[in-house]
């Protein structure tokens, strides 16, 4: 018989299990829809530009309305926002499933994809805020590890299912219908979360004032600036990897395209191994040190990629690559939960959507242009240098935050509080809520 005391606290918390389940099934559905949309557009248009347009309309909402969505989330019930977001996306996907039976044309497809992405922009900040309320600070690393691991599994399962469904049934509406069902299940799971005070207390203010207030709080916090630096540098370094793998393998190393999938499987395996390791060792890991050390190792690995000239070497490199990236991302998620005040969470997650998404566009543009001009190996080394510089700057911000925390604790005798609510000019209470 299992001793209940040995079971991690989050594994005994029905609210977290419901949130985790909602995230997992939604991730699977998202991957299913994303690849099915790409296959559908490819089949109907055979146009790379059309695929690029689809990618653009999906990415634009996060960049354009990320802060607006975050400001809204910070002033309303996060649980209700998530339920409504899931319900609306389920309806949109059912509309998409009905419409594709008779090809509606790209404009209709783009519109539905845009609306779905726009609605989803409200979901992630709300989930982060609700998770902070539900999960104690000491369990955040383990909780984020579970989220990251199931994200990898869900994306792999969803993409595989999409390929099988389209290849065997030669239809697309089934995938969209299944995804609509996953959003319905997600909404039901979130509705099961009870006894949670998850609406930050705040005074009435305009949306613009809320956004300005949030930006001021982030600007005044070294810890939050460090998090943005880490995520931006990581995004810039990783973006070219996806773009350049195929040309590097085929054109530079003259390896058959059939090995690309095998090489990429190393990344997935590394993600899973890293997620499990963090889950097991969570109590012994300092998230800041895990992020910084992981970034340093990742920078070294990217710089050494030109030395990997065989399938085996590339497979091993991608396995380590996946292990490091999932560890860094898990640490970032945990640090966000412990450093950001609950009243600021929506706007900070809005920034986490805008800045890295914008950086990603520049990163892919850099990879495409400079890869052809200077060579892929040079791009790898440049990405490594950017990652190293970003890591150094982020570490300096984390150290500054630690010094400020010690100084504040010494002068006032207070303990560390998450950043946001008590920033200068803030109208929020600054409480880091727990139910």
Do residues 106 and 331 make contact, with C-beta atoms less than 8 angstroms apart?
no
In a 13 Å sphere around the CA of 199, the CA atoms on its Cβ side amount to 10
275 vs 251, more confident: 275
89 vs 53, more confident: 89
Question: So what's the pLDDT on residue 265?
Answer: 87
Q: For the residues 402-421, what does the mean pLDDT come to?
A: 70
List Cα–Cα distances, 131 to 17, 20, 286, 337, in angstroms. 11, 9, 20, 8
Cite the beta strand spans of 259-389 per DSSP E.
none
pLDDT single digits (tens) 169-217:
888 899 999 999 999 999 999 999 986 666 665 666 788 889 999 999 9
List Cα–Cα distances, 402 to 252, 285, 374, 407, in angstroms. 45, 17, 41, 9
Question: So what's the pLDDT on residue 6?
Answer: 52
- Rounded CA-CA distance 69/56 in Å is 19
Question: So what's the pLDDT on residue 429?
Answer: 35
Among 265-269, 334-338, 363-367, the range of highest mean pLDDT: 334-338
Residue 89 CB contacts under 8 Å (≥ 6 apart), including other chains: 116, 119, 120, 180, 183
pLDDT single digits (tens) 211-262:
999 999 999 999 999 999 999 999 888 887 777 777 788 778 888 877 888 8
Question: So what's the pLDDT on residue 363?
Answer: 79
> Where are the alpha helices (H) located in 170-286, listed in sequence order?
173-191, 207-219, 222-247, 260-281
Reply yes or no on whether the pLDDT at 5 is more than 70: no
pLDDT single digits (tens) 348-383:
999 988 887 788 778 777 777 777 677 788 888 888
Question: So what's the pLDDT on residue 277?
Answer: 92
pTM for this structure? 0.86
Q: For the residues 32-48, what does the mean pLDDT come to?
A: 86
Do residues 266 and 316 make contact, with C-beta atoms less than 8 angstroms apart?
yes
Strand partners, 419: 340
pLDDT single digits (tens) 137-154:
889 999 999 998 898 889
Reply yes or no on whether the pLDDT at 331 is more than 90: yes
Average pLDDT, the chain: 85
List Cα–Cα distances, 29 to 103, 145, 178, 179, in angstroms. 22, 20, 7, 4
Q: How confident is the model at residue 305 (pLDDT cuts 50, 70, 90)?
A: confident
Do residues 351 and 66 make contact, with C-beta atoms less than 8 angstroms apart?
yes
Residue 146 CB contacts under 8 Å (≥ 6 apart), including other chains: 10, 20, 275, 279
Q: Please tell me the least confidently modeled range out of 5-19, 80-94, 285-299, 311-325.
A: 5-19
- Rounded CA-CA distance 103/313 in Å is 44
**Residue % of the chain over a pLDDT of 90:** 47
Helices and strands counted in the chain (H then E):
14, 0
Do residues 230 and 336 make contact, with C-beta atoms less than 8 angstroms apart?
no
Reply yes or no on whether the pLDDT at 115 is more than 90: yes
Question: So what's the pLDDT on residue 50?
Answer: 86
Do residues 346 and 354 make contact, with C-beta atoms less than 8 angstroms apart?
no
Among 55-59, 293-297, 314-318, the range of highest mean pLDDT: 293-297
């Amino acid at each position: 018989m299992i001793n209940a005391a040995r079971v991690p606290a989050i594994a005994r918390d029905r609210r977290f299990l419901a949130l985790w389940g909602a995230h997992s099934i939604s991730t699977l559905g998202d991957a299913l829809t994303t690849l099915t949309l790409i296959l559908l557009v490819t089949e109907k248009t055979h146009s790379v530009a059309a695929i690029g347009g689809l990618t653009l309309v999906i990415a634009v909402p996060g960049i354009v309305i990320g802060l607006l969505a975050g400001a809204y989330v910070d002033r309303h019930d996060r649980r209700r926002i998530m339920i409504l977001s899931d319900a609306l996306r389920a309806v949109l996907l059912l509309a998409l499933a009905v419409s594709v039976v008779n090809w509606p044309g790209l404009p209709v497809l783009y519109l539905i994809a845009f609306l779905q992405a726009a609605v989803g922009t409200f979901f992630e900040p709300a989930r982060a805020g609700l998770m902070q309320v539900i999960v104690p600070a000491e369990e955040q690393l383990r909780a984020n590890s579970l989220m990251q691991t199931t994200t990898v599994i869900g994306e792999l399962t969803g993409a595989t299912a999409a390929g099988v469904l389209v290849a065997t049934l030669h239809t697309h509406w089934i995938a969209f219908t299944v995804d609509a069902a996953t959003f319905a299940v997600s909404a039901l799971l979130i509705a099961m979360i009870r006894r949670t005070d998850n609406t930050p207390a705040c005074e009435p203010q305009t949306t613009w004032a809320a956004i300005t207030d949030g930006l001021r709080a982030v600007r005044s916090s070294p810890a939050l600036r460090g998090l943005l630096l880490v995520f931006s540098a990581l995004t810039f370094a990783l973006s070219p990897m996806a773009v350049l793998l195929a040309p590097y393998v085929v054109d530079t190393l003259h390896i058959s395209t059939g090995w690309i999938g095998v090489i990429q499987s190393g990344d997935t395996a590394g993600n899973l191994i890293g997620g499990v390791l963090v889950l097991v060792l969570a109590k012994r890991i300092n998230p800041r040190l895990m992020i910084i050390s992981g970034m340093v190792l990742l920078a070294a690995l990217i710089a050494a990629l030109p030395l990997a000239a065989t399938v085996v070497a590339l497979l091993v490199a991608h396995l380590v690559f996946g292990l490091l990236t999932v560890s860094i991302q898990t640490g970032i998620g945990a640090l966000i939960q412990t450093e950001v005040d609950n009243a600021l969470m929506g706007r900070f997650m809005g920034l986490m959507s805008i800045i890295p998404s914008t950086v990603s566009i520049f990163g892919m543009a850099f990879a495409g242009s400079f890869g052809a001009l200077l060579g892929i190996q040079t791009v790898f080394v440049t990405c490594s240098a950017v990652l190293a510089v970003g890591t150094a700057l982020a570490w300096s911000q984390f150290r500054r935050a630690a010094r400020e925390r010690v100084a504040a604790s010494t002068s006032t005798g207070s303990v560390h509080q998450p950043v946001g609510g008590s920033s200068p000019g803030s109208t929020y209470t600054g409480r880091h809520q727990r139910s």
